[in-house]
Amino acid sequence: MSDATETADGLVTKRFLYVNRKAPHGTVYALEVLEMILVAAMYEQDVHVAFLDDGVFQLRKNQATEELEMKDFSKTYRALEDYGVEKIFLEKESMEERGLTPDDLVIPAATIDRKQMTELMDSMDVVLSA
Amino acid sequence: MLHLVNKSPFERTTLEACLRRAAPGSGILLYEDGVYAALAGTSFAPTIANATNAFDIFVLAPDLAARGYAPDAVIDGVRTIDYDGFVDLTIEKQSVQSWL
């Protein structure tokens, strides 16, 4: 918790990590986490976002949900930058297991390996995982 | 018999449980997050490629499309079907078992 800082207006800023481990449409987790990220960003928190395991599928390009009559929220990831959320990390091993490359994704993100993911998680004040 | 699998093979073991018990010649339909098992080029793909020798394996196109994959992204020998094809399969295979 020592990394938490207080801004001039008294707002405490903490290092938040949102861990995405679920594929996008089979369950509601991915959409719910995305909404939590946008809320945290509005409160000017130091937001980090990680995609690992099936979570890397959330960023796949060309998601076409019309026939399912569900929202295609993959476009919203592209708006994260506008909310000041730029610390986005993908796990290399998860991508490789699933045959994904950075070119397959809707946004650019830093690719880190599993050991670096451990370090990222360990360096946070608050970790929310789904 | 038509077996239905809707979970990602990377997260759950329902597809493996199904493959171990399905009778040769059975149909297996991959839908919802189960469609990830049908993709070529993943670490799970060899398991499915091998299973196409024993089973009729199908994948539901609208669930592939929702996840950003075209029909040509699937493993050779896995057939892509739509909702009408799903209905036809349940009739053709007579009985259905869901692996939840």
The per-residue DSSP string of chain B comes to -EEEE-S-TTT-SHHHHHHHHSPTT-EEEE-GGGGGGGBTTSTTHHHHHHHTTTSEEEEEHHHHHHTT--GGGBPTTPEEE-HHHHHHHHHHT--EEEE-
Q: Which residues of A touch B70 (CB under 8 A)?
A: 62
Q: Tell me: the pLDDT tens digits for A81-128?
A: 999 999 999 999 999 999 999 999 999 999 999 999 999 999 999 999
Q: Which domains does chain A have, with CATH numbers?
A: 5-129 (3.40.1260.10)
A99 touches chain B (CB under 8 A): yes
Query: How far is it, in rounded angstroms, from Cα A61 to Cα B2?
Result: 31
Report CA-CA distances (Å) from A113 to A9, A89, A92, B98.
37, 10, 5, 36
Q: Which residues of B touch A25 (CB under 8 A)?
A: 32-33, 63, 66-67
ipTM of the prediction = 0.91
Residue B95 in tokens = 């009985």
Q: Name the residue ranges covered by the structural domains of chain B.
A: 2-99
Q: Domain B2-99 adopts which CATH fold?
A: Hypothetical Protein Ychn; Chain: A, (3.40.1260)
Q: What is the pLDDT of residue A44?
A: 85
Model-wide pTM > 0.90: yes
Q: Which residues of A touch B42 (CB under 8 A)?
A: 97-99
